[in-house]
Amino acid sequence: MSRDTIQNNIQNFANNIGISFNTISLLHTAFTHRSYVNEHRGESIEHNERLEFLGDAVLELTVTRFLFDKYEEKNEGDLTAYRAALVNTHTISSAATKLGMNDCLFLSKGESRDTGRARQYILADAFEAVIGAIYLDQGYEVANDFIAKNIFPLADEVVKKRLWQDSKSYFQEKAQEHVSITPSYAVVKEEGPDHDKHFTVGAFLNDEQVATGKGRSKQEAEQEAAQAALEAKGWG
């Protein structure tokens, strides 16, 4: 897609979510992946990672308060598990896809051809960056409303289908059941400065790397890898 087409898609996205941005360039930045900036080094373009950092914090706070109010009888452990399921890559990338964010992304030519799991991570990051842009431009209440509309309705399904269950434990249970192997995990890639590390972890069955997962901590990446491994093996 051309730049003009993507910019039109971004404006349509803003219209569809019912937000009139004071600074629409914030939304453009939210949809700009680092790969696009690297491919256009001569231009003054900012990627979305700072907005993603901010939006992640707003998302976590908003979901935490929602779950605290909704499940008064649940303990800290249950609430933490529910929150992890509501803000993980799979959940928020699915929400991003439903909102048509795929058509709003500024990506390098290489990244634009990848429609697999890597795109899920990009969409999840963009979703968080959009929250950051809304928060900066419109304030907390509008950001809260956006999250409430697109994430809160998923809570009942998460609880009913036990989607909050620890993926590593479930993968181990299934691996032992199907192939009598205890999974192992190893960091296969580490990126970013010390204050903003991103880890890629592989999930292994003996020497077979079944899947990988990404996260801001090794633990988060392991959970993502276990979930991806469950999907890869059809054990979900």
Determine the Cα–Cα distance for residues 108 and 112; give it in Å rounded to an integer: 6
What is the per-residue pLDDT across 62-121, written as a single tens digit (0 to 9) for each?
999 999 999 999 999 889 888 988 898 888 999 999 999 999 999 988 888 776 677 888
Q: Of these residues, 52, 56, 222, 224, which one is catalytic?
A: 56
What tokens were used for 226? 């276990």
Q: Which residues contact 109 (CB under 8 A, 6 or more apart)?
A: 39
Q: What's the pLDDT band for 236 if we cut at 50, 70, 90?
A: low
Residue 172 vs residue 235, higher pLDDT: 172
Start-to-end C-alpha separation, the chain? 35
Q: Is 128 a known active-site residue?
A: yes
Do 50 and 64 meet the contact criterion of CB atoms below 8 Å apart? Answer: no
Q: In the prediction, which pLDDT does 107 show?
A: 92
Q: How crowded is residue 86: how many other Cβ atoms within 10 Å of its Cβ? A: 24
111-169 tens-digit pLDDT: 887 766 778 889 999 999 999 999 999 999 999 999 999 999 988 887 776 666 778 88
Token code pair at residue 164: 């909050």
Q: Which domains does the chain have, with CATH numbers?
A: 3-160 (1.10.1520.10), 167-233 (3.30.160.20)
DSSP state, 13? H
Q: Which of 52, 111, 125, 128 is catalytic?
A: 128
pTM over 0.85: no
**CA 55 to chain CA mean position, Å:** 11
- H helix or E strand, kind and range, residue 37: helix 34-39
